[in-house]
Amino acid sequence: MSETMAPFAKMNGAGNKIVVADMRARGDHVTAQAAIALAQNEETHFDQLMAVHAPGPIGKDAVIEIFNSDGSRAGACGNGTRCVVTRLDVPVNGKFFSFEVDGHPLKAIRGEDGMVTVNMGVPRFEWDQIPLEEEFADTTGIQLQVGPIDNPVLHTPSVVNVGNPHAVFWVEDDVNNYALDKFGPMLEHHMLFPERANISIARVAGNGSLDLRTWERGAGLTLACGSAACAAAVCAYRLKKTGRKVDVSLPGGMLHIEWREDNFILMTGPTEHEFDGFFDPATGAWERAA
């Protein structure tokens, strides 16, 4: 193994494809080019890459930089954070973890059952906090639709920022009936979203749970998106569709979301380790661990 190589773990959180890169012993950073190269390889393809750096003087367990598969940066990834907790397992205080992501604190706790809960912070609903290009007084449903004006396929999404911007379209039938792979890219880059957006289709199930599919900003159609599950859950509560505790069913698995009375969102779910390897943070060249 070359000295330029850093260790990584290929993992997934409820199907969300994750690479956890351990950069704590290094002074360099993963480049966008390296992230793109890893994402383009079939074996190392990811939705998000979590580059984990030493905490420095801020008293956290680590600083995390998050890359999408297109090389762009993400402000949050709950599924990826759970993978970091499972893989590194280096809390300062027992089962409690504290990270810094994009300049913001992010806390997690590892349960006795192996499940990891991440405190995703507080949602932001004001139009300029999401952000949107124009003002909307009510973000539980904004004027945006897919299809003909007189007979739209989807319309009036709820919008929220949960570390990154989300738009959630509500439907009453199967979420798989909609060509999210077709209109997801268009809506991600819609002029209404100056920082792009994650686009989801959600349905309230009979037991108060949610079915969800997401086109993820910078990653595309994913098996799971933790922040989208949080976004759908809080928007469902705002619309009086569910209570504060919701099970969100995604193509890759189940996440449990709780929007607490103190405004913080808790996300709990599983993680899975696939294999270990080493990669060059500058180029993305990689090899499997022996």
- Quick: pLDDT tens for 174-184: 999 999 999 99
User: 275 lies in which domain range?
Assistant: 6-121+271-288
Q: Which residue has the higher pLDDT, 88 or 65?
A: 65
Residue 136 falls within a domain, yes or no? no
Query: b/e string for 82-109 if b means 16 or more Cβ within 10 A?
Result: bbbbbbbeeeeeeeebbbbbeeeebbbb
Number of domains in the chain: 2
Together in a domain, 159 and 55:
no
Give the Cα separation of 47 and 98 in Å (integer): 23
pLDDT band at 206 (very low <50, low <70, confident <90, very high): confident
Average pLDDT over residues 102-127: 90
Phi, psi angle pair for 175, to nearest 5°: -65, -15
* Terminal-residue alpha carbon distance, the chain: 10
Quote the crossing angle between the two packed helices 226-238 and 78-88, to the nearest 10°. 130
CATH number at residue 75: 3.10.310.10
Mind telling me the catalytic residues?
A: 77, 225
Contact (CB, 8 A) for 20 and 80: yes
**Per-residue model confidence as pLDDT tens digits over 127-164:** 999 999 999 999 999 999 999 989 999 999 999 999 99
pLDDT band at 25 (very low <50, low <70, confident <90, very high): very high
pLDDT at 92 over 60: no
* DSSP 3-state of 48: strand
Query: b/e string for 145-184 if b means 16 or more Cβ within 10 A?
Result: ebeeeeeeebbebbbbbbbbbbbbbbeeeebeebebeebb
Residue 33 falls within a domain, yes or no? yes
pLDDT at 199: 98
pLDDT at 57: 64
pLDDT at 197 over 80: yes
Residue 192 falls within a domain, yes or no? yes
pLDDT at 266 over 90: yes
Name the H helices within the chain: 32-40, 78-88, 180-188, 226-238
Average pLDDT over residues 240-264: 96
Together in a domain, 153 and 215:
yes
pLDDT band at 290 (very low <50, low <70, confident <90, very high): confident
Question: pTM of the prediction?
Answer: 0.89
pLDDT at 91: 53
Residue 129 falls within a domain, yes or no? no
Residue 93 falls within a domain, yes or no? yes
* DSSP 3-state of 10: strand
pLDDT at 209: 96
